[in-house]
Structure 1
Amino acid sequence: MNALPSLFISHGSPMTALEPKLTGQRLAELARALPRPRAIVVASAHWLSHAPLVGAAAQPQTVHDFGGFPPALYALQYPAPGAPEVARRAAELIAQAGLPVQLDPGRGLDHGVWVPLRMLYPQADIPVVPLSIQPRLGPAHQLALGRALAPLREEGVLLIGSGSITHNLHDWRGADPAVEAPYVRPFIGWVEQQLQRGDVDALLDYRRQAPYAEQAHPTDEHLQPLHFALGAASAGAFTAQRLDAGIEMGFLAMDIYRFDGPCED
């Protein structure tokens, strides 16, 4: 079969699961445009570790890793099966790339995984493997992790980085959701420009080069899934398609990217 693309998804607030808005529409459209994968691997901004961990549960639990939201949100489940054999294959590829890796047989699906997947594949009938990210190791590490797993795309596995194109929770407190934060559009415009140019080096150096980088991302963990998805696209040429899903609460850009590229140079 042809290689699947890799995806970066801005998963938004947990409330996106109850109020999908434009994100739900964009992800439903994307699912219709994609071949059906045999399994999905999701690198989530809500599973952080010092070295890569791969979830190998046969039936991962739906984890409600948040507080202070309506009871209806905690009632939601995403009962997708796991894929232990895909988890073992992913760990093998990561090890072959020279990175330390461990399987975690008890890891469930945090909201960075199940919130977007409920909109992408609502039937929850495709096996899912969660993957941790390591923000302390920097964007280049996430790029390398994605590249290590790129062969899975030719094996029918959809690789997703789940984070947020902008993520400043300080703006959640006391901000007027009707007023758009001034840093959002310059930052997302810069990211799109570099992706269209194929300038991977600039994206790895976004902290220094991007406008308003510190405001858009006070910490790195929600953007680094973009570097994972970019690495998973290819070690060489790639194309990037941006799906605009709007801006939530004035500061949370909901961009989605589809990356296509050969698995090898």
Structure 2
Amino acid sequence: MRRLPSLFLSHGSPMMALEPSPARDFLAGLGDQLPRPRAILVVSAHHDAAYQGGGATVTASPAPPTIHDFGGFPDELFAMRYPAPGDPALAGRVVELLADHGLAVTADPERGLDHGAWVPLSLIYPGADIPVIQLSIASNASPEFHYSLGQALAPLRDEDVLIVGSGSITHNLRALFSARLPINAPAPAWVIDFTDWVAERMAAGALDDVLHSVERAPHGPDNHPTPDHILPLFVAMGAGGTPLNAERLHHSVTYGLLAMDVYAFD
């Protein structure tokens, strides 16, 4: 019986679906490097229970629609669809696993795939022929809560399900929109110092430091003024098991400020 890794992807701008970049090239080749899963569970920064009355949800549509949850981009991006099937039975399994850990979640038969899921998956698995479901984060909950979500989901790795946390290793949109840097702009020190610190603590297996990287790393609050885009990292870490065994698969930066790190946990 094989065990799949869990992954953390920095999904960057929705324009990654269209614009050439090192991160796009990496993701376009990642599917060939991974064992093909029977299904994918994505924990996306853009599916947030904090804005749903606090109720955590897992998508249970058999045919989840493509959600274009952004504005101000070219029509070509809005025309894109990722018609992967859903997996209501897997959604039910997620509900059971989380209930066993005292974590309440309900199945949502209507919600589709947001860009944190479909943009990177359209590059990794362009055939859109692997079932995909999404589980919400809760941006008003702690890093430890999200780590525990991953721990509860870990058995899915032995059931041929690829667990993917989709967020961003750095995510300061106010700075990004103010700077308006070109896609290939070099990163400033406050971005590099943060990502290098996280990579070093990952390599050292320093779980508590990584969980509290926004407080402890150099320029943590500058890179994450809100926690939503780093929380999927902690879910992927929890699903990866103990001790923390992280591999940094990719590092690049787009628009100077969006670091595009990818990690695998096993």
TM-score category (smaller protein)? over 0.9
- What CA distance in whole angstroms lies between the structure 2 residues aligned with 1:138 and 1:254? 23
Q: Which of 240, 248, 262 lines up with 1:242 in the alignment?
A: 248
Correspondence for 1:75 among 73, 79, 87: 79
* Cα separation, 2, equivalents of 1:24 and 1:121: 13
Q: TM-score, normalised on structure 2? A: 0.94
State how far apart, in whole Å, the 1-side matches of 2:168 and 2:227 are: 10
Name which of structure 1's ranges 174-183 and 104-113 shifts more when overlaid on structure 2. 174-183
- In the aligned structure 1, how far is the partner of 2:238 from the partner of 2:20? 28
Write the deviation string for residues 164-219 of structure 1: whole angstroms up to 9, x where unpaired: 00000011223152352321111001111111111111112223211100100000
> Where does residue 166 of structure 1 map in the other structure?
170
Residues 54 and 131 in structure 1, CA contact (< 8 A), matched pair in contact too: yes
- Would you say how many aligned residue pairs link Structure 1 and Structure 2? 259
Unaligned 5+ segments in structure 1 are 261-265
Match in the other structure for 1:186: 193
CA-to-partner distance for each residue in 1:80-137, whole Å, 9 max, x for gaps? 0000001100110011010111111101000000001001100000000011001111
Give TM-score, length-normalised by structure 1. Answer: 0.95
Q: Which amino acid aligns with 1:66?
A: F
Q: Which residue of 1 aligns with 2:226?
A: 219
Partner Cα separation in structure 2 for residue 20 and residue 119 of structure 1 = 12
Q: 1:263 maps to which residue? A: none
> Could you tell me which of 72, 93, 98 is aligned with 1:94?
98
Answering whether residue 154 of structure 2 is matched by residue 150 of structure 1, we say yes
CA distance in 2 between counterparts of 1:36 and 1:179 reads 34
Give SS of 2:209's match: helix
Contact 1:26-1:243 within 8 A present in 2 as well: no
Structure 2: tracts of 5 or more residues without a match: none
Report runs of 4+ in structure 1 exceeding 4 Å deviation: none
- 2:248 is aligned with 1:257: no
Task: Measure, in 1, the Cα distance between the counterparts of 2:171 and 2:81.
Answer: 25
Residues 116-131 of structure 1: pairs in structure 2 closer than 5 A: 116-131=120-135
Give the whole-Å Cα distance in 2 for the aligned partners of 1:20 and 1:147. 35
Which stretch shifts more, 205-214 or 22-31? 22-31
Aligned pairs (5 A) from 1:14-33:
14-33=14-33
Q: Percent identity?
A: 51
Per-residue deviation, 1:245: 4.0
Any idea what SS the aligned residue of 2:179 has? coil
SS in 1 for 2:164: strand
